[in-house]
Chain A
Amino acid sequence: MSKPSQNSSLENSSPKNTSLKNSSGVIATARLIATKDLRVELRSRVLLNQVVPFSLIVMVMFAFALDSDAVLERVAPGLVWLATLFSVLIMVSRSFAVETADGALDQLRSSGVPAMGIFIGKTVALMVQLLVLVTLLVGAAVVLYRAQVSWSGGVLLVTTAVAATCGLGAVGTLYGGLAAGAKGRETLLPLLLLPVVAPVLIGATRATESAFGTNGIAISEGWPWLGLLAVFAVLFSVAGAVAFGPLLDD
């Protein structure tokens, strides 16, 4: 740090300024990375042109496999979230392929950008894209599987989607960072990620069942599951923010 005698008018001449700079550095970085990722998506439209059609095809394939309207209506919540999970795998790979293609991530790190900021930025971008996806998939479930959403169910559904996609975004970014880059690592992503997101699948599906009113399950029964989703999201957001730096420092 700078000597106390040097009265520089530049930044970080005192510890207080340093920590301020650091925290604004994290938030500024996060905002930068998030907007960059979303802008890349807007321009390339990979989510719209590839991931969404993929997930819709998955929804159709479920119908072929399960072959019964009654069964489909009953398992619709589960199918929505399964299709989402499969899509997460692709989206995370894509999120990091964008970075590693030109060594952008390595350059970012070596120029001293705070890893926590990169993590938060990528998580937010992933979460936004997932929210779009989940909305479309719920719509598909209403159309294809005859799911029904009431107004109060809708509130539960929205909060569930926010909590679940936050957790998925955090875990996806974290494990995606680990699996990114070197050959042979990307194929590990599904193996690493799917066991970890099991609580999200369980919680989101149960909450969505309440929201749809499947099997006559009351909406009130969905809120505890939301609690589980929220705990998951918080835990992995914190863990990810802390662990992302060491993981990237390969």
Chain B
Amino acid sequence: MNTTDTTTAPNSSARDRVTGTAFTRGLGVVILAGMILLVILGLFVSPPDANQGESVRIMYAHVPGAWLAYLAFVVTGISSAAYLWKRTRSLTWDRIAGASAEVGVLFMGISLVTGSLWGRITWGTYWTWDARLTTTAFLFVTYIGYLAVRGLGGTHQQRARRSAVLALLAVLEIPLVHFSVELWNTLHQEASIAGRGTDVEMDGLMLFTLFLGVVVFTLMYVWLVLHRQRSLALDDMLDDSGLDNALTARRAEAQGVAR
């Protein structure tokens, strides 16, 4: 079989390029550099906050994580719609939706944990029932359900259709949940912890570090989704070739019997 890849030595097999391309390798280098810069700025160089002190440093990990979780959710929704629309139907959209959901769950988990730790320091509690936090928790659980449904088996098309419908229902459900919880909270005026970032006075370097954090996390998201989407494609190809092999074996069997 002709290999179309000419950038690696012909007999490197175990170490050869699997899901990586020149683009992802370059991206990976940029991400590593960005991460190091972010950690240095976030943990050491940037100034502590006037109100919160050093604990504001958690913000540089928490806020980008939350943003990316929502971005991942949006991407899953759009990819699901793209799959369901006949003109753009392609299993690649389904795999992007699945990969984005996985990475989204990862970032949501990070955001919930870091947010919880941050809250412990600044307000003494690990949790509070404000609308944003509760909705994030709901989004988290909803996406875990989505991933579970993706793992149910069946043909690739069945999986794709089922999860696409589920993702779009989630797009409907999440704003409803958010709205209900917000309405609920206006009853209990204790929940005045509306925006965690709002009582942070941001000076130039803090703003830059936060911005850097969002950029680095977005690049991480892209890198992870690219790789995971390709990994899912490989899994699907494996499934298909397994099916092909089984069919070929059956046909050979049938021919053998016929003779």
Contact = CB atoms under 8 A, between A and B. Distances in A.
Most chain A beta carbons < 10 A, residue from B138, B145, B153, B158: B145
Majority DSSP secondary structure for residues of B touching A: helix
Nearest to B149: A188
Contact of A235 (B154, B176, B187): B176
Given A191-B141, A195-B142, A174 B180 contact: no
Given A191-B141, A196-B173, A235-B172, A243 B165 contact: yes
Contacts of B166: 178, 192
B161 A206 contact: no
A178 B165 contact: yes
Nearest to A225: B183
B212 interface: no
Interface string A64-86: 00000000000000000000000
Interface in B161-186: 161-162, 165-166, 168-169, 172-173, 176-177, 179-181, 183-184
A194 to B, nearest CB: 8
A188 B141 CA distance: 12
A246 B158 contact: no
B161 A192 contact: no
Interface string A201-240: 0110010000000000000000011001001100110010
A57 B141 CA distance: 28
A54 B114 CA distance: 40
Most buried by B among A184, A196, A203, A250: A196
The size class of the interface chain A forms with chain B is: 20 to 34
Given A182-B153, A202-B184, A246-B84, A195 B169 contact: no
B162 A250 contact: yes
B141 A250 contact: no
A1 to B, nearest CB: 20
16 contacts: A178-B162, A178-B165, A182-B152, A184-B153, A192-B149, A195-B138, A195-B173, A196-B142, A196-B169, A196-B173, A202-B181, A202-B184, A247-B161, A249-B161, A250-B158, A250-B162
Interface of A: 174, 178, 182, 184-185, 188, 191-192, 195-196, 198-199, 202-203, 206, 224-225, 228, 231-232, 235-236, 239, 243, 246-247, 249-250
Given A184-B153, A250-B161, 4 more contacts: A182-B152, A198-B181, A202-B184, A243-B165
Interface of B: 84, 138, 141-142, 144-145, 148-149, 152-154, 158, 161-162, 165-166, 168-169, 172-173, 176-177, 179-181, 183-184, 187
